[in-house]
Structure 1
Amino acid sequence: MQTSVIGYPRIGVNRELKFASERYFRGEGSKEQLLQEAARLRLTHWQVQKQHGITYIPSNDFSLYDGVLDTACLLNIIPARYRDLGLDSLETYYAMARGYQGKRGDVKALAMKKWYNTNYHYLVPELEEGVEIRLAGTKPFDEFLEAKQQGIRTKPVLPGAFTMLKLIKYSGGKQAADYAADMAEVYKEILARFEALGAEWVQFDEPELVRDLTAEEIELLCDLYGKILSAKGRVKVLLQTYFGDVRDVYQALLGLPCDGIGLDFVEGAENINLIHQYGWAQDKILFAGIVSGKNIWRNRYRESLDLIAELNRWVPHEQMVLSTSCSLLHVPYTVRHEQQLGEEVCRHLAFAEEKLAELTELAGLAAGLKEIEDAAELPEAYVRNEALFAEGNRAAPNPAVRAKTASLTAADFVRLPAASERAEIQRARFKLPLLPTTTIGSFPQTAEVRKNRTAYRKGRISEEQYRRFNQEKIAACIALQEELGLDVLVHGEYERNDMVEYFGECLDGFLFTEQGWVQSYGTRCVKPPIIWGDVSRARPITVEYAVYAKGLTNKPVKGMLTGPVTILNWSFPREDLPASEMAYQIALAIREEVLDLEAHGIEIIQIDEAALREKLPLRRSDWHCEYLDWAIPAFRLVHSGVKPETQIHTHMCYSEFADILQEIEAMDADVISFEASRSDLALIDVLQETGFQTAVGPGVYDIHSPRIPGVDELKEAILRMAEKLPAEKLWVNPDCGLKTRNEAEVRGSLQHMVQAAREVRKLLIADEHRRDALV
């Protein structure tokens, strides 16, 4: 059987693209050096896939920053504010991705959102009225030829026309359907170009098809592809879906004149039932996604072969290609570089390169499926795989942890008194000014901070030296915040490598990789921990540094924690326990830390749930039963035991919150900060419309951009907030942590933010006095 990969990681085994890009941003590397490194990485990735025998190797899955942004530029979807800078094409691209502040002008970056139910972020294209959708670039064609010249015939990959139309943000009165004809013409031209270059297959990614779709949207899909495929010539077209099932459009897909359909059988369990019910089209190849592109555990061959045998009842072998369930962008490169996990652990793991081997082995086994069933001696690969899974659970259960989760009652998830009563108690306790200012938590992770952490980890400095360095940084951070005039301070998080990995290191049940990097957005990578066993708190996590910071100031200092849902969602979870059980185990561990902080005099505690929205099922009918019914209680469990005067904050970022605001309010936090700046504070309209009661801090500036916002810009943002939301419930803060920014950017931005908040505060107080005088 043939094999296909939907997409491959692109940052580099050792994050080479990240470092080359950042050298370029700092002016320490040339454009040519950056592009040479990108070309080297592409070739390496193609060669690895070819060496593993993959039939359909993707091209154009590589990006310097983001694939959706690449496609927007390819289609001429570039807002005028970036064109008007007069920069070259690469600098314009980066201005859209990161913002620009320099001699040519001052513009913010495009909005950024989570890519469906993953921790990858894409940049939201903006289509201004009057802009012509047309073929304006050559990237996918150049990369196809680049591979072809190396003797590798690839399958070019692009976001599909329907998904692009759904992802775009439109200005003016037009919507997706108004641009469908233009989009179809451009995609027809793309296919013609690829045919002329000798491409056999072109893959159009259509993850939007696994969402709930209306009749009008399905009509748009059919009309769009009816036009695109009307004269496609010899080149074959694969419509690739992932992250779920296509229940709304399955029959429509079978009727389209495409040559292949890619279905996800890992997250889209319903897809097999659709084939049972409606059969398969004789003129189409099924690209069957059976090797997970998201988890890092070995594929169980027996289960995959059973699925293939079931599919073969409707789809002959010759009409089936074995595929990853989604792009391998969401897993690390290879287990080969993990020296510290040990063989006992590593043999259970499959990162991107190992998944290539699994695809090839499964294809070989599937080709002899009947022989396997009848054989007296089973193939060695099958026997080896069965032996691995026969070992059973990878870690012995912890009876004490299991007993704690089993004994939870409804009262454990309820905090008393009610939020409105707590708000009065806390207002009297803290006596904060109108529009209190704070930050989300982290301060810059400079080279010296990372050097100190590495030196301690490798035994080059003592624990006392390590702690003393962190204390010096905390003292400087507190002094800076007092100098700037912030109202609620943080300790800066200099001891933390990552907001999830650091917590995992202080919890039993987690394992950690050395090179398990996964791209989150642009040049930002994370190293998700692995949940291996039952989770409990091994030791205090944040208490020492929070207490030290508190002793340096008379202002409130927030304790900074990561919430249970985010820790779960940003880890690689085990597969032998329900997600709810893992979430409650983590929640009980973080609850111990919350109560410990409170006992040590920390009166404001922030429990970040940045990833709450991330794993929300893509279909609304699954929201509660599969996720919200345990995710929201897990957060409440963490803080339900604190005193009324202890103020609980949480933070959420880069997701669409409008449709779950009721559930967010049910988290029962006292203050919630949201990412809002990249979406131009659109969230405040929704908060106003829904009558949101919890105090909020919509982020007033974008920390993922190096630009420093001006005072007037920030005043305007705060005034917009105060016009639509009660000022006494508003906080002023950046939209996320500051770890990725440098110290000069942080000082300048926070200085302007505090000044803007003070000026707006004076205006609001003066207005109130005038109103009182009139009364």
Structure 2
Amino acid sequence: MLKHNLGFPRIGKKREFKRACEDYWSNKIDLSTLFQVGKEIKRENWILQDIAGIDLIPCNDFSFYDHVLDMSLLLGVIPKSYSSISVIKNHIDLYFSMARGFQKNGWDIKAMEMTKWFNTNYHYIVPEFEKNQKFLIFSNKIFEEIEELKILLKSTKKIKPVLIGPMSYLFLGKEKDKTFNRMDLLNQLIPVYIKIINKIKNQGVNWIQLDEPILSLDLSKEYKDFFLHSYEMLSQCFSNINVLLATYFDGISENYSIVKNLNIKALHIDLASDINQLENILTNIKNSNMSLSLGLINGRNIWKNDYKKSKHLIEETIQCIGKNRVMIAPSCSLLHVPIDIGYEKSIPKHLKMRMSFAKQKIHELVDLENIINGDKDLLDKNINIFNTSQFFYDKKVHKKFFIKNEDLKRNSQFKFRKEKQRKKFRFPLFPTTTIGSFPQTKQIRIIRSKFRNNNLSRQDYEKKIKFFIKDVIKKQEEIDLDVFVHGEFERTDMVEYFAEKLNGIISTENGWVQSYGSRCVKPPIICGDVSRNKNMTTHWINFAQSQTKKPVKGMLTGPVTILQWSFVRDDQPVYKTAYQIAWAIREEVKSLEDAGIQIIQIDEPALREGFPLKRKNWKFYFDWSIKSFLIASSVVKDETQIHTHMCYSEFNDILNYITELDADVITLETSRSKMELLKAFSKFSYPNEIGPGVYDIHSPRIPTVNEILDLIKKASELLPIENIWINPDCGLKTRTWEEVMKSLKNMTKAAKIARKNYRIKQIK
């Protein structure tokens, strides 16, 4: 029985990866120093897994930005706009320009499109394909890492390189134009994959992992045929190497017919997401020679594995196919969990003993092997932990599970609310606003840290935060925005801030997880029934509103996003936890309205991210997720305007659900996709108001006035012009003040020009 891992976090124990990348981007360190940090992180990860006793250790799972972008560089899929930048002299700078854009030395190239990795909060850079796309081995990263690991281990026996499979790579990309289907590129792509695999074989490697997570999706017959065709071509290089085909994030029962006859050594399935698929797959795999990798350890949550349950699944599999054909692993890459629970000092002992981060999950695999081999003490200890470690229970919270119809509806339909709100606010055409946060400078972070560590009194802390709020109000007056925000200087993170103020949720000290590039987040841990004791935001929003006559938005994180971007308790259905959070946010919404705040934004960037990969499960998910939003938002009067914000979402199939949210204004990330997302809203005739992002905040480049005007024009061709708001793609906390001021001034200038142009058209 082989123990293996699909991937390990790449940020480093203390986020060394983040600091090194950002120092390199700001010219504080050179390339050799950046690479040295990367080597040290890889070495630590490999040694940890080797010492633990993992039989197959992944390599090429480390990345300086994104593993999908790594694949694009490996295959030479580099848009001409980037490859033509003459001042770029090395692969890593070309790579970073694709991820972040390039705006210097007379060049001004936008960053590539970025979107969510399936139903996770990780973002990947979307590959861009041309009609006659050429593929070649462009980068040597994977081969160099194999050599690094070979030297460290003094052997190739344990090395398992990881590649995104050809079908998932093409599927996750997009065509530069619509004159061809990217799947038509398979015949050009597969020969390059064959060259890569042959080159890996020549390095003496015995195993390779091909990730094909699209097998967890609803695939059409056409895609199934493409899949079979691609692996039929690819199988010519599968001799003398063991190929592990890895799937994750959901079950593959519906697509098992694709893989059952493939010439692969082993298939990995995610049992943390779908335990019911095992019976079907065992029935089909029984009479083959294929090994089965059981994804038993949840790679997306931080709770300890239930050894008794896993032992049963392993023994069932062994009984069916034999021990030498069984492999055990985490359900997916451990990229999605923090590195080591050992760095956490403040988590209560009874909860900490129930938790498992990446390092601990590696050791859980070894424990399971020992239990299968007869170690009863390990099993008993685990059973005892589950019996003694209980989540926090609150009877008062459970009484709120009874939801009345009036709890889920605004007083009037949107068309009536819209007229009341227009009379009240009298906004100009193309009203301008931002999504919420403004730059979080080092000075602000130090102040928050001092206050958190009791090195700054509450009085002094409030005085300093109010100074920043006053300053950001003045800056918004200077920019001439129509609707202001308070800047969120008191908030470390849009979820963590609320988690720290709600009962039933705790925060970690070092529980960082990569979101995109160097951006890391610290997901809170929902460990009990959630409730609200007191106001969480009203104090700061009221102060900001007192500094200006312009409306200041109350800024809240929605219940679904708090749920999705946290590690959620696993002892009750997630919808129950979502409803608990929703009632707490509803109370905060009401307190903001009672305090005189006229516009309230309830962000739900994770709503689309969280929906199931299988269409058959959509209705149930949207039923409880939309109900959660409506619980939170429906308590206000017609005149109070409710905004919501969503990130990187493909809306074509779910617009009817989005409409059910009934938000007065929805803001979206659309700048990198050049307003493509709005086509769905246009075809659907979405009735409410929309703020399509015109400024890509994930890149340091500053959009020009003409560029923003062009995006406004595209939006105006797709949507009713009176329904359009102008705003950035997302919050501005990661950007510098210099970038923000220039970009937002260009944004408001473009909005004013668009208003003028529209008036001229009306006159004509």
TM-score (norm 2): 0.98
Q: Which amino acid aligns with 1:654?
A: Y
- Is residue 724 of structure 1 aligned with residue 718 of structure 2? yes
CA contact (8 A) 1:439 1:490 kept: yes
Residue 13 of structure 1 and its aligned partner are, at CA, apart by 1.1
Query: 1:619 maps to which residue?
Result: 614
From 579, 582, 588, the equivalent of 1:584 is 579
- Is residue 390 of structure 1 aligned with residue 395 of structure 2? no
Q: Which amino acid aligns with 1:22?
A: E
- Is residue 241 of structure 1 aligned with residue 243 of structure 2? no
From 518, 529, 548, the equivalent of 2:543 is 548
CA contact (8 A) 1:337 1:515 kept: yes
- Is residue 339 of structure 1 aligned with residue 345 of structure 2? yes
Please give the secondary structure, in 2, of the residue aligned with 1:239. Answer: strand
The CA distance in 2 between the partners of 1:210 and 1:306, in whole Å, is 24
CA contact (8 A) 2:341 2:360 kept: yes
- Is residue 229 of structure 1 aligned with residue 265 of structure 2? no
- Is residue 300 of structure 1 aligned with residue 306 of structure 2? yes
From 185, 190, 196, the equivalent of 2:191 is 185
Gaps of 5+ in 2: none
- CA-based RMSD: 1.1
- Is residue 653 of structure 1 aligned with residue 652 of structure 2? no
CA contact (8 A) 2:260 2:284 kept: no
From 662, 675, 679, the equivalent of 1:681 is 675
CA contact (8 A) 2:351 2:389 kept: no
- Is residue 54 of structure 1 aligned with residue 50 of structure 2? no
CA displacement, residues 498-521 of structure 1 (integer Å, 9 cap, x when unaligned): 000000111111111100000000
- Is residue 267 of structure 1 aligned with residue 279 of structure 2? no
From 503, 508, 512, the equivalent of 2:507 is 512
Query: 1:25 maps to which residue?
Result: 25
Change (3 A) 1:84 1:754: same
Query: 1:80 maps to which residue?
Result: 80
CA contact (8 A) 1:279 1:314 kept: no
Q: Which amino acid aligns with 1:404?
A: K
Change (3 A) 1:165 1:280: farther
The CA distance in 2 between the partners of 1:230 and 1:497, in whole Å, is 52
Please give the secondary structure, in 1, of the residue aligned with 2:424. Answer: helix
From 168, 171, 177, the equivalent of 1:166 is 171
- Is residue 486 of structure 1 aligned with residue 492 of structure 2? no
TM-score (norm 1): 0.97
Please give the secondary structure, in 2, of the residue aligned with 1:95. Answer: helix
CA displacement, residues 3-25 of structure 1 (integer Å, 9 cap, x when unaligned): 01000000111000000000001
Which has the higher mean CA deviation after the structures are superposed, 41-50 or 268-277? 268-277
CA contact (8 A) 2:235 2:263 kept: yes
CA contact (8 A) 1:251 1:278 kept: no
CA displacement, residues 508-566 of structure 1 (integer Å, 9 cap, x when unaligned): 11111100000000000000000011101122111011000111111111000000000
Please give the secondary structure, in 2, of the residue aligned with 1:230. Answer: helix
Q: Which amino acid aligns with 1:8?
A: F
Query: 1:427 maps to which residue?
Result: 422
The CA distance in 1 between the partners of 2:499 and 2:27, in whole Å, is 36
Residue 277 of structure 1 and its aligned partner are, at CA, apart by 4.0
Residue 607 of structure 1 and its aligned partner are, at CA, apart by 0.3
Which has the higher mean CA deviation after the structures are superposed, 585-594 or 303-312? 303-312
Please give the secondary structure, in 1, of the residue aligned with 2:588. Answer: helix
> Where does 1:179-578 land on structure 2 (aligned, <5 Å)?
179-368=185-374, 379-391=376-388, 393-395=390-392, 397-405=393-401, 407-578=402-573
Residue 655 of structure 1 and its aligned partner are, at CA, apart by 2.4
Residue 232 of structure 1 and its aligned partner are, at CA, apart by 2.6
Please give the secondary structure, in 2, of the residue aligned with 1:321. Answer: strand
CA displacement, residues 4-51 of structure 1 (integer Å, 9 cap, x when unaligned): 100000011100000000000111111110001001100110000001
The CA distance in 2 between the partners of 1:72 and 1:366, in whole Å, is 41
The CA distance in 2 between the partners of 1:203 and 1:414, in whole Å, is 49
CA contact (8 A) 1:60 1:139 kept: yes
Q: Which amino acid aligns with 2:745?
A: Q
The CA distance in 2 between the partners of 1:43 and 1:646, in whole Å, is 55
CA contact (8 A) 2:101 2:699 kept: yes
Residue 308 of structure 1 and its aligned partner are, at CA, apart by 1.2
Please give the secondary structure, in 1, of the residue aligned with 2:293. Answer: strand
The CA distance in 2 between the partners of 1:732 and 1:341, in whole Å, is 43
Q: Which amino acid aligns with 1:380?
A: D
Residue 576 of structure 1 and its aligned partner are, at CA, apart by 1.0
Residue 129 of structure 1 and its aligned partner are, at CA, apart by 2.6
Q: Which amino acid aligns with 2:324?
A: E
Which has the higher mean CA deviation after the structures are superposed, 129-138 or 323-332? 129-138
The CA distance in 2 between the partners of 1:734 and 1:666, in whole Å, is 24
From 141, 162, 181, the equivalent of 1:139 is 141
- Is residue 630 of structure 1 aligned with residue 624 of structure 2? yes
- Is residue 701 of structure 1 aligned with residue 695 of structure 2? yes
The CA distance in 1 between the partners of 2:24 and 2:5, in whole Å, is 30
Q: Which amino acid aligns with 1:180?
A: L
CA displacement, residues 199-238 of structure 1 (integer Å, 9 cap, x when unaligned): 0100000001110011111111111111111233311111
Which has the higher mean CA deviation after the structures are superposed, 9-18 or 682-691? 682-691
Gaps of 5+ in 1: 369-377, 771-775
- Is residue 641 of structure 1 aligned with residue 646 of structure 2? no
From 103, 112, 115, the equivalent of 2:114 is 112
The CA distance in 2 between the partners of 1:580 and 1:570, in whole Å, is 14
The CA distance in 1 between the partners of 2:741 and 2:124, in whole Å, is 28
- Is residue 150 of structure 1 aligned with residue 152 of structure 2? yes
CA contact (8 A) 1:195 1:233 kept: no
Q: Which amino acid aligns with 1:233?
A: S
The CA distance in 2 between the partners of 1:156 and 1:367, in whole Å, is 28
CA contact (8 A) 1:275 1:314 kept: no
Residue 131 of structure 1 and its aligned partner are, at CA, apart by 3.1
Change (3 A) 1:651 1:441: same
CA displacement, residues 580-618 of structure 1 (integer Å, 9 cap, x when unaligned): 111111010010100000000000000000100111100
The CA distance in 2 between the partners of 1:691 and 1:424, in whole Å, is 19
- Is residue 605 of structure 1 aligned with residue 607 of structure 2? no
CA contact (8 A) 1:192 1:233 kept: no
> How many residue pairs are counted as aligned between the two chains?
758
CA contact (8 A) 2:9 2:336 kept: yes
Please give the secondary structure, in 1, of the residue aligned with 2:489. Answer: coil
Please give the secondary structure, in 2, of the residue aligned with 1:204. Answer: strand
